[in-house]
Structure 1
Amino acid sequence: MSASLWLAYDHYGYALLAVVGTFAAVSGVYRLAHHPRCAGWLLSWQGVAPPFINILGVLFGLTLAFLANDTWSAHDRAIRAVYREADAMRTTLALSQNVPAPLASQVRGALAQYAQASVDEWGWLAQRTANPAVADRADALLTLIASAGVREALGANVQTLLLDQIVTMRDERDQRVTLSQTHVNPLKWLGMAFLGLLTLLSVAVVHIERPRALLAAVVLFAFGAAPTAAIVLIQGNPFLAPVGVTSAPLQAVLNGLTAR
């Protein structure tokens, strides 16, 4: 696998590691509990009260919940950024309708070039990078809107509104680029994995004298924890297909610009 592909899809690798690692830990705990050399020593630990699981279980659940909240919050912010960017583009188009014909075509063309570059940037966002062409198109559009011709045609007040919309477009684009570069925080996930292991061990200790109950308990814990962690990890980059934010709002604006 090339470095670029791994950079784009490493979240899936971490998700697979979480699932495999969890069930490997389950297998290890169960084998240890039934190992002839360890069984007698481990039985000496029986008597741990079942409510003890709640202490570590709550810590583990809260840690995973916080990580999930960070991930899905980034996804929601990415959606809002894309829609606000598209809305600013529509507003720019509407406010520039009264520009004289030669200049109007330039504004429409510059806006269409920006929209096309933004739509094309989605492949870059999946790899947590930015397309420099988008910034160039935004600068060109800003320079055009700030020109004396636009001020003479629409007046200073409307030109100011247009400039505000261009700045909003740039800000929202910067927001989605920033969100695309969010990544798995190793310390957070190592802490969660450590708490998960401790929770697994506490479940095993509580059921140490009943092998079948021990197996059922640790397997159920694994089926609850591993897929949940994998789902959160897969959502790590809000612009990564197939579950990522799409460019549909920007594509709709682009279609409207090129259809006329």
Structure 2
Amino acid sequence: MSDWLHNLSVPWMAFIVFGFTYLVAILIFAGVAILSTKERATSFKSISPGMLPVLGILFGLFVAFTAAQVWSDSDRATAAVSREASSLRAVILLAGGLPPEQEARLRGLVRDYVEETVAVEWPMMARQAASLKAAPPALTAALRLVVSTPAQNPGQQTTQHEIITNLNSALDARRQRIIVSQTEVDSIKWWCLYLQAICELLVIALVHCDNRLGSAIAMGLFATGVATSVLLIAAHDRPFTGQISIAPTPLLQIMPDKEASR
């Protein structure tokens, strides 16, 4: 789907999705009503109503298949952000085992990384423009700082090892976060989903061509179900885009205070 639709608020997205789906249903209903003359009505009625549950089941499978991808991407994105925040929190706590100057410098680098991630990287992920080409300067500098700090005792050596492990974990979580930010339901799946819905709406209209009120009610109910399914998937399609998106709250909660970073 287009960027402009994903960036809409949920009410406006619902208005567009429901409006488009109802428009398709109305066009199908009107087309069948115009074509259902006495001669054609008999042919239309010869279509087996048994096709309705079959097509409905196929549409349900399409929805489940598409939704499974969306929920999986959302779970992966949430897990990546949580792991990144947990790793950075561990770095902040372990920094207390370093000499005071290195501790303050490390806390400042973690703070710089979080600020840049929230201010720059998060909007880029919302536009699916974030890239893995360049490593984050703050975390790279933090790794160099810890590696270059001479260990004064075995305890400090263990602390440095744990800090490096958690910094690498944060970098890996960042990579996963950016990768997931570039995923979405592709256009082929959306076309197939709506094509299946159109087939179901068309069969409803043909089977009930001699009862226009019943046809309109049945088509309206199914169109509502289609629009609801599409809205639910579209609103969660891109984990970092739109009103319902993953916020950098966990990172902000672990960000060191400026005073403590100096």
Task: Return the TM-score normalized by structure 2.
Answer: 0.86
Superposed CA deviations along residues 115-159 of structure 1, whole A, max 9, x for unmatched, are 21122222221111227887122211111122243x346543332
Q: Distance in 2 between matches of 1:67 and 1:214?
A: 28
Q: Which residue is 1:95 aligned to?
A: 94
Q: Which residue is 1:257 aligned to?
A: 257
Aligned: 1:9 with 2:4: yes
Classify 1:259/1:83 alpha carbon distance in 2 versus 1 (closer, same or farther; 3 Å).
farther
Q: Distance in 1 between matches of 2:16 and 2:184?
A: 16
**Offset of residue 220 of structure 1:** 0.7
**Offset of residue 27 of structure 1:** 1.1
Q: Which residue is 2:52 aligned to?
A: 53
Q: Which residue is 2:243 aligned to?
A: 242
Classify 1:152/1:115 alpha carbon distance in 2 versus 1 (closer, same or farther; 3 Å).
farther
Q: Which residue is 2:187 aligned to?
A: 186
Q: Which amino acid aligns with 1:122?
A: W
**2:70 and 2:184 in contact (8 A); partners too:** no
**1:16 and 1:230 in contact (8 A); partners too:** no
Q: Which amino acid aligns with 1:130?
A: A
Pairwise CA RMSD of aligned residues?
2.4
**Offset of residue 12 of structure 1:** 5.5
Identity %: 26
Secondary structure of the corresponding residue to residue 45 of structure 1:
helix
Superposed CA deviations along residues 231-255 of structure 1, whole A, max 9, x for unmatched, are 211222111242101111100111x
**2:94 and 2:163 in contact (8 A); partners too:** yes
**1:32 and 1:39 in contact (8 A); partners too:** no
Gaps in structure 2 of 5+ consecutive residues:
none
Secondary structure of the corresponding residue to residue 45 of structure 2:
coil
**Offset of residue 195 of structure 1:** 0.8
Aligned length: 252
Superposed CA deviations along residues 31-84 of structure 1, whole A, max 9, x for unmatched, are 12221x543313322143433211111111111122112112211221111111
Q: Distance in 2 between matches of 1:33 and 1:170?
A: 58
Secondary structure of the corresponding residue to residue 26 of structure 2:
helix
**1:92 and 1:165 in contact (8 A); partners too:** yes
Q: Which residue is 1:105 aligned to?
A: 104
Q: Which residue is 2:125 aligned to?
A: 125
Task: Return the TM-score normalized by structure 1.
Answer: 0.87
Q: Distance in 2 between matches of 1:187 and 1:216?
A: 29
Q: Which residue is 2:37 aligned to?
A: 39
Q: Which residue is 1:3 aligned to?
A: none
Q: Which amino acid aligns with 1:39?
A: T
